[in-house]
Amino acid sequence: MELNATIFGQWITFFFLFFLLTKFLYSPLSRVMKQRTAKIQEGLDAAEKARIDLENAKTFYEDQQVKAKIEAQEIIQKAQDRAVALKNEIVSQAKEESKRIVQKSREDIQFEWEKARVELRREMADIIFLATGKVLGAAVDRDRHMALITDVVEHVKANGA
Amino acid sequence: MTGEKHGVAEHLEHWVTPVLGYAVNLDTFVMTGIVVAFLMVILFLFRINMHDGAPTGLQNFLEVVVEFIEDLVKENLPVYVPWVTPLALTLFIFILLGNWIGEIPGMKSPTADINTTVSLGLISFTLLLYFSLKHKGMGYFSEFLFHPFGKWLIPVNFFMKVIEELAKPASLSLRLFGNMFAGHVVILLIAAMIPWWMNWTVGVIWLGWHLFIGLIQAFVFTILTIVYIAIGQQKEH
């Protein structure tokens, strides 16, 4: 148990082993571990990017959904407004039409009324002619006595008809 | 009994052989050579199976060891120096396998030889000196003169600092040597004292304990070397 030249031999052995382990274990293993770490980091980065993309897509989808809802509401509102406007227009047109029809009906009635009056007057005159002819026992000339008969008819109309 | 003691003593002695005119412990070299050869086989197996996918088997184990040592170095050094990691790794693996090889029947731990532990201790001491001089420059020498008692007690300071610095490699070397050597002495004494048919029971218990001690000693030597380098890197005392 004494010190001798073994010390130097062990130094040589140690540094030989240091060279071996550095060149064939530590360096390649460190390189491999760094490569793996880089790969894992790449995977983590890709996963993080995918997560962010998903988050963005989700946000975009939600925004679009909100926009679509708002647009749908606007479209519905516009359609409702248009329907109300259309309804009002139709009602207004219908009122105008009904007024026009009523007016025309009144005019028609007035016209028919006037026509009936004229007809009635003519028929009354004819009756009066016949009656008068019968009473007088002679024929009454229509064209000749027309003015007279018309005066009678007007007189009758004014007094009671 | 005398014959048994003589046998134990004989087993603990080294095979001293002259090489180029200098005495060397041949058994220590042979055991160290076996450790190196074993490591070369492991490295060969590792290199032919190495891949950058999910590690398995041997690669997984080696990655755990390398990461463990790398973390130790990174956590302790104020200034990270990349080559310290493989150096600490070499120290750890060399001491660990040197400790464990002695547990195989017929083998001897090279770390149970004071020459091995002193050579490793001197490497650790050289690293301490290198980093102290690199980071403190002449300030390192002023520590010998003015610490801890200032300029009025320079001789005392110098004496205490020299003792402090020399104690570092000495304690490293003697701790490792003492533990390993004592382990072998104990196992030999147990083998000599109890009947042969009982040897395996005590042997197995002692083997487990001594494997644990071997691991702890390798770790202690490595972490203290890293700590000494860290002390060398610290600017102020």
Asked if residue B183 lies in contact with residue B108, where contact means CB atoms within 8 angstroms, the answer is: no
Task: Work out the average pLDDT over B32-40.
Answer: 93
Query: Rounded distance, CA B20 to CA A1, Å?
Result: 20
Q: Where are the domains of chain B?
A: 7-134+166-233
One-letter amino acid for residue A82 of the chain? R
Q: What is the DSSP letter of A62?
A: H
How many Cβ atoms sit within 10 Å of the Cβ of residue B33? 12
Asked if residue A149 lies in contact with residue A157, where contact means CB atoms within 8 angstroms, the answer is: no
Q: Residue B227, CB half-sphere, CA atoms under 13 Å: how many? A: 9
Closest CA to A34 of B57, B52, B60: B52
Question: Distance from A22 to chain B by nearest Cα, in Å?
Answer: 6
How many Cβ atoms sit within 10 Å of the Cβ of residue B116? 30
Average pLDDT, chain A: 88
A120-to-A117, A125, A133, A135, A156 alpha-carbon distances in Å? 5, 8, 19, 22, 13
Query: Rounded distance, CA B91 to CA B75, Å?
Result: 18
Q: Which residue of B has its CA nearest to A18?
A: B90
Question: Which is higher by pLDDT, B12 or B109?
Answer: B109
Task: Work out the average pLDDT over B192-214.
Answer: 81
Closest CA to B14 of B28, B4, B34: B28
Query: Rounded distance, CA B181 to CA B203, Å?
Result: 16
pTM of this prediction exceeds 0.90: no
Minimum mean pLDDT range among A40-44, B145-149, B229-233: B145-149
- The residue range of the domain holding A148 is 2-158
Asked if residue B187 lies in contact with residue B206, where contact means CB atoms within 8 angstroms, the answer is: yes
One-letter amino acid for residue A51 of the chain? R
> Residue B236 — very low, low, confident or very high, per pLDDT cuts 50/70/90?
low
Task: Work out the average pLDDT over A27-36.
Answer: 89
Closest CA to B90 of A65, A103, A26: A26
Question: Distance from B139 to chain A by nearest Cα, in Å?
Answer: 29
CA angle A54, A57, A63 (to 5 degrees): 140
Annotated catalytic residue B171: yes
Average pLDDT, chain B: 86
One-letter amino acid for residue B156 of the chain? V
> Smallest Cβ distance to A9: which of B24, B53, B93?
B24
Closest CA to B11 of B83, B119, B82, B108: B108
Residue of B49, B119, B142, B171 marked catalytic: B171
Q: What is the pLDDT of residues A133-153, one digit of tens each?
A: 777 776 667 677 777 777 777
Query: Rounded distance, CA B179 to CA B213, Å?
Result: 8
Minimum mean pLDDT range among B11-20, B65-74, B176-185: B11-20
pLDDT at B4: 46
Number of domains in chain A: 1
Is it the case that residue B25 has pLDDT exceeding 60? Answer: yes
Q: What is the pLDDT of residues A115-130, one digit of tens each?
A: 998 898 888 888 877 8
Q: What is the pLDDT of residues B109-152, one digit of tens each?
A: 899 889 999 999 999 999 999 999 888 888 888 888 887 777 78
Question: Helices marked H in B137-198 — which ranges?
Answer: 139-146, 154-193
Phi and psi, residue B19, nearest 5°: -125, 120
pLDDT at B221: 94
Contacting residues of A for B32, CB less than 8 Å apart: 9-10, 13
H/E element, B19: strand B16-19
The length of chain A, given as a count of residues: 161
Q: Which residue of B has its CA nearest to A20?
A: B40
Contacting residues of A for B24, CB less than 8 Å apart: 4-6, 9
Annotated catalytic residue B175: yes
